[in-house]
Amino acid sequence: MIPYSLLDLSPIPEGSTAREALTNTLDLARHAEGLGYHRYWLAEHHNMPGIASAATAVVIGQVAAATSRMRVGAGGIMLPNHAPLMVAEAFGTLATLFPDRIDLGLGRAPGTDMNTARALRRGFDNADNFPRDVLELMDYFDDDNATRLVRAVPGTGTHVPVWILGSSLYGAQLAAHLGLPYAFASHFAPQALDQALAVYRETFRPSETLARPRFMLAINVFAAETDAEARRLRTSMQLAFVRLRTGQPGPLPRPIEDIETAVPPAALAMANEALSVTAVGSPETVERTLASLIERYSPDEVILTGQIHDHAARKRSFEIAASAMKALGSVPA
């Protein structure tokens, strides 16, 4: 069976609060562990009124404490926002508290605006140092040696698994060059997916970390009892994406019945193209779509996500998706 994982942004729905969003994250994590999800990843976003996972390492610690077996990690940490040593200390601490359960996915984009980058005391030019920062960070996780002048404590010797995240050829090339696993952000930026995947697989260099390429495909899932209800649930994310791209970020909108009349056609087409790697529908429809995506891209793992306004409906969606993945795993290749 292909491992299936879950990416959570701790969405703050309209009419709700950050506290409720984080409470929902812990509830969803426990639910996901019971459904057989392999990893539970959270993502770093700043200055976003609809996302509560800004202090990503803190939330990861809470999720790891609320679960017992599932791997927990970052999908990801935007490394240009941080000094590598501080990331190593944070994730080294997590790995010390929760041995062999912590992952660290690293992104090159700052994931924020200029004013927020300044508030983080970092600059957009830090992305140019990304390869060097990745190597420095990984070195902090390595075993101790007498020549090391700076150590991550905790962190040294924890060997936290590092993933490279990306939505372009840059991340694919770096992951292949360093021999690291690669997760593509196909859930919101699928344009370069085919080319990046080919580059990663064709140029991969085995390393002490990884003998062969390991590719994770990100897929949006909006599942419900009927196709119509799943499409209605999806409108929350479509609306949120349109508002974000037009400079109006906010809490996760409530779903609407007829999005075609509420959003200009060009804006809706833009959102649908960006969110095209999506399984939306009834259990049968979602299973067929997931099977098609897996057949096309042959991922080593899939990570499912989906911003749904109602928490109970979101839990049910991931439950349907897990059942679909289990059913696909029982079918001979």
Please determine, for residue 122, whether its predicted confidence score (pLDDT) is greater than 70: no
pLDDT value of position 116: 80
Write the pLDDT tens digit of every residue in 34-79.
Answer: 999 999 999 999 999 999 999 999 999 999 999 999 999 999 999 9
DSSP state of 101: -
Pair (146, 3) in one structural domain: yes
Provide the whole-model pTM: 0.95
If one counts every other C-beta atom within 10 angstroms of the C-beta of residue 328, the result is 18
Largest CA distance in the chain: 66
Are residues 153 and 225 located together in one domain of the fold?
A: no
Sequence-distant (≥ 6) Cβ neighbours of residue 283 within 8 angstroms: 223, 225, 320, 323, 324
CA-based torsion, 195, 198, 204, 210: positive or negative:
positive
Residue 176 lies in a domain: no
Q: Judge whether 175 lies within some domain.
A: no
Question: Does residue 198 fall inside a structural domain?
Answer: no
In a domain, 323, yes or no: yes
Q: What is the pLDDT of residue 147?
A: 84
How, if at all, do strands 182-184 and 215-223 pair? parallel
Query: Looking at the domain assignment, is residue 169 inside a domain?
Result: no
Q: In this structure, is residue 62 part of a structural domain?
A: yes
Count the domains in the chain: 2
CB 173 within 8 A of CB 154: no
* Distant-in-sequence, close-in-space partners of 17: CB < 8 Å, separation ≥ 6: none
Q: Domain boundary residue among 142, 160, 178?
A: 160
Domain enclosing residue 25, as ranges: 1-30+39-160
Helix locations, the chain, DSSP H: 18-34, 56-66, 84-97, 114-119, 130-141, 169-178, 193-203, 227-245, 259-262, 265-274, 283-297, 311-329
pLDDT digits 0-9 by tens, 124-182 = 566 579 999 999 999 999 998 878 899 999 999 999 999 999 999 999 999 999 999 99
The whole-number average pLDDT for the span 103-118 is: 83
Query: Is residue 144 a part of any domain in this protein?
Result: yes
The pLDDT mean for the chain works out to: 95
Q: From CA 79, how far away is CA 110, in angstroms rounded?
A: 7
CATH number where 2 lies? 3.20.20.30
